[in-house]
């Protein structure tokens, strides 16, 4: 499934190939988030044109709407959304955290009340696997319990141990051998708990491993420390996925620590809110200084938005609340993220990754703070 093809001699950064049922993926890779089977404000044609290798969907949301009857009718998520390339699906574990007011935790699973129609159901590890196999995701995640920050060690340990028990149940429930299942490391900001989680997951044995429970409000230093601890315990020959992270600097720092896969809503969410990532740092298109600015958003960006429109026009669209501004700004941000990962892969293979890392530390060190 995973073959490492190049690595950086100065850091732990590496390039690899993921062979998946719906195609080959070059790593490190960024996965745009299509929670309900669509990237907000963008189309599948856009994603094809941008060279997107793999999309992310969500078990909880797709289970509620359109529902498994619809997905089964179309023979899986790929055919339903007309995306012929790989898809990874999250198990719904993050919704246990983000929708905590709508669920109650028990050993059996998470008892939810739907945020759509009030329907009550229990998301168990077994059901999470069943849904994801119906979706036909090339990679699907085990059900886990994510906790917020800060968290007492006892609470983090309870959630980590439950996540391990659920991971075992997910592995037993897995029926489709050609699909890949990833375990998820938990343990809050506690080194010993992260180590125990990694060891337990490796003992179970998965096709890859994800690091969860980060980017939940903790300081950057603690996040990076937990990535280091986890990567030290995870097998080199398996892919590593950092869930829900993050900013451009977060991504390149994580790559330098041995991470292969990323997802985050930031490119599209920030685009819809008027914040753009560029080769010169962040741009807030709402700023009055762009009212008469006839320059492009980013002269180094090849996207349609940057090739065609001025900052002044983009600001006008955004301030006028024109829906097309969501599309144009999201298109740019996704292009930036995918381009960043392409540069990362090229620099690892060329032996210049350390220089790229230092450049981005200088570029984003102040603008992300």
Q: Smallest Cα–Cα separation from 214: which of 97, 338, 311?
A: 97
Residue 67: partners with Cβ closer than 8 Å, 6 or more residues away: none
C-alpha 62/C-alpha 272 separation (Å) is 23
Q: Which two tokens stand for residue 200?
A: 């337990």
Q: Is 10 a catalytic residue?
A: no
Nearest to 213 by CA among 156, 171, 272: 156
Q: Are 367 and 81 in contact (CB under 8 A)?
A: no
Rounded CA separation 65/137 (Å):
17
DSSP-assigned states of every residue in 143-208: P-----SS--HHHHHHHHHHHHHHHHHHHHH---TTSEEEEEE--TT-HHHHHHHHHHHHHH--SE
H/E element holding 275?
strand 275-278
Tell which residue, 239, 267, 268, 233, has the closest CA to residue 255: 239
CA distance 325 to 319: 9
Per the residue annotation, which of 138, 250, 260, 263 is the catalytic one?
Answer: 263
Find out whether 123 and 109 touch, Cβ atoms under 8 Å: yes
What gap in Å lies between CA 171 and CA 200, rounded to an integer? Answer: 13
Catalytic, out of 90, 138, 144, 260: 90
Known catalytic residue at 144: no
Residue 127: which H helix or E strand, with range?
helix 125-135
Q: Write out the catalytic residue numbers.
A: 90, 263
């Amino acid at each position: 499934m995973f073959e490492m093809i190049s690595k950086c001699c100065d850091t732990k950064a590496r390039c690899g190939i993921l062979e998946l049922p719906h195609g080959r993926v070059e790593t490190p890779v960024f996965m745009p988030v299509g929670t309900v089977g669509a990237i907000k404000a963008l189309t599948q044609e856009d994603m094809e044109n941008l060279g997107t290798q793999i999309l992310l969907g969500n078990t909880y949301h797709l289970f509620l709407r359109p529902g498994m009857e619809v997905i089964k009718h179309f023979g899986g998520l790929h055919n339903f959304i007309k995306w012929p390339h790989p898809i990874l699906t999250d198990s719904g574990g993050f919704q246990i955290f983000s929708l905590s007011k709508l669920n109650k935790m028990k050993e059996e699973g998470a008892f939810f009340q739907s945020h759509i129609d009030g329907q009550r159901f229990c998301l168990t590890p077994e059901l999470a696997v069943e849904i994801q196999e119906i979706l036909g995701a090339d990679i699907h995640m085990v059900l886990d319990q994510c906790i917020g920050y800060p968290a007492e060690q006892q609470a983090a340990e309870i959630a980590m141990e439950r996540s391990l028990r659920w991971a075992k149940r997910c592995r037993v429930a897995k029926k489709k051998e050609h699909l890949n299942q990833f375990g998820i490391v938990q343990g809050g900001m506690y080194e010993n708990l992260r180590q125990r989680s990694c060891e337990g997951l490796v003992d179970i044995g998965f096709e890859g491993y994800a690091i969860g429970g980060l980017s939940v409000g903790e300081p950057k230093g603690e996040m990076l420390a937990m990535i280091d601890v986890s990567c030290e315990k995870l097998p080199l020959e398996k892919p590593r996925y950092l869930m829900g992270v993050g900013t451009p600097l977060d991504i390149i720092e994580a790559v330098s620590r041995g991470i292969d896969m990323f997802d985050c809503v930031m490119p599209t969410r920030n685009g819809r809110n008027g914040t753009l990532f560029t080769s010169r740092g962040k741009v807030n298109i709402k700023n009055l200084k762009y009212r008469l600015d006839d320059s492009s958003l980013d002269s180094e960006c090849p996207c349609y938005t940057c090739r065609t429109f001025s900052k002044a026009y983009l600001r006008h669209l955004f301030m006028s609340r024109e829906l097309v501004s969501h599309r144009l700004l999201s298109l740019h941000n996704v292009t930036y993220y995918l381009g960043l990962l392409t540069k990362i892969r090229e620099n690892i293979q060329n032996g210049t990754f350390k220089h790229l890392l230092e450049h981005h530390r200088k570029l984003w060190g102040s603008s992300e703070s």
